[in-house]
């Protein structure tokens, strides 16, 4: 009683983000948001409720965007509506969502300035500077607080998944590099057919190349990290790193095949510390109970 809930309504600007179909969120055939043509009515309806306080407007067109054009199109569509809401309801912020993509292919090389300098100017990956330069002229005149969700861009390439080689299986016309990580630890390749660079922790250029499917031990063929990937030859017990695993890695992990969630280690320079312990079998089943009618 006497409390007002601050709200913003998500609108759908019907903009194609040109990203993976499963992570585009701002087209008219996506499940998110109210179509822009109906949004004014939604705000008028919300304004009639005494315990709601209209504070902003929100949109999100997708994730892993590699060009700025879809962002510009979305802001050009929703910006005038945000200005109208400010005049009518005094909103204070405009949440323009997330979506800045990261480099998955050549992730390791992209950590060096020389890699960026070698890219043609018109083909360089989207940077915060380019993003800001394109959007600031459109957003600044609104005078609103601008909210962003740059999670993947901030942490995606800061995290790696370490796995140990269990076995190299030489099949009929195909090699399988079997590691102790699986799709339950990093589901993106299985779910989105996503590319993650795979790097042996001990790199030795004198070793010969090996082409193989890199797979985990889970009981389905979809448990595959890479098809026909060329790496240096690695032996049983050696470590490989799956790069760009800092975003949508642990957050999407599961206990499929009764595999516990992995441990997490935080690294700063040469210092490191375990910050999340590996889940044990006992922890996995701790919340389970046998109902009385089965006893």
Q: Which of 132, 104, 76 has its CA nearest to residue 20?
A: 104
Which is it for the CA torsion 35, 40, 41, 47, positive or negative? positive
The domain ranges of the chain are 5-156, 162-250
pLDDT of 70 > 90? The answer is: yes
Catalytic sites, residue numbers: 219
Per-residue pLDDT at 123 exceeds 90: no
Q: Which two tokens stand for residue 133?
A: 């330069």
> pLDDT tens-digit profile of 193-235?
999 999 999 999 899 999 999 999 999 999 999 999 999 999 9
Phi (first) and psi of residue 272, to 5 degrees:
-150, 155
CA nearest to 217, candidates 171, 283, 163: 163
Confidence (pLDDT) at 82: 98
Class for the domain spanning 162-250? mainly beta
Structure tokens at 83: 């200005």
Against a cut of 0.75, is the pTM above it?
yes
pLDDT in tens, 204-214: 989 999 999 99
d(CA 57, CA 54): 9
Q: List the end-to-end C-alpha distance of the chain, in Å, as a whole number.
A: 46
- The two beta strands, 271-276 and 175-179, are unpaired
pLDDT digits (tens, 9 = 90+) for 71-97: 999 999 999 999 999 999 999 999 999
Please say whether the structural domain 5-156 has been given the CATH code 3.40.50.2300.
no
């Amino acid at each position: 009683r006497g409390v007002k809930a601050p709200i913003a309504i998500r609108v759908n600007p019907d903009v194609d983000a040109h990203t993976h179909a499963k992570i585009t969120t701002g087209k008219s055939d996506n499940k998110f948001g109210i179509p822009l043509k109906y949004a004014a009515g939604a705000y008028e309806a919300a304004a009639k409720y005494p315990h709601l306080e209209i504070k902003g407007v929100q949109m999100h067109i997708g994730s892993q965007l590699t060009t700025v054009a879809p962002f510009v199109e979305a802001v050009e569509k929703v910006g005038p509506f945000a200005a109208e809401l400010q005049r009518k309801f005094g909103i204070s912020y405009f949440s323009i969502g997330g979506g800045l993509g990261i480099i998955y292919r050549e992730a390791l090389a992209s950590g060096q300035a020389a890699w960026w300098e070698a890219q043609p100017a018109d083909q360089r990956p989207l940077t915060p500077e380019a993003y800001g330069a394109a959007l600031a002229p459109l957003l600044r005149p609104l005078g609103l607080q601008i909210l962003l969700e740059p999670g993947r861009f901030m942490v995606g390439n800061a995290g790696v998944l370490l796995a140990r080689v269990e076995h190299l299986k030489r099949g009929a016309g195909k090699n399988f590099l079997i590691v102790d990580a699986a799709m339950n630890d990093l589901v993106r390749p299985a779910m989105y057919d996503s590319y993650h660079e795979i790097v042996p922790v001990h790199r030795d250029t004198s070793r010969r190349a090996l082409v193989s499917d890199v797979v985990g031990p889970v009981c389905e063929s979809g448990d595959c990290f890479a098809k026909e990937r060329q790496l240096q030859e690695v032996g049983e017990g050696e470590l490989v790193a799956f790069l760009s695993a800092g975003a949508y890695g642990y957050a999407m992990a599961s206990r499929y095949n009764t595999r516990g969630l992995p441990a997490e280690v935080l690294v700063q320079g040469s210092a490191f510390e375990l910050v999340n312990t590996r889940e044990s079998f006992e922890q996995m089943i701790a919340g389970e109970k046998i109902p009385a009618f089965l006893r």
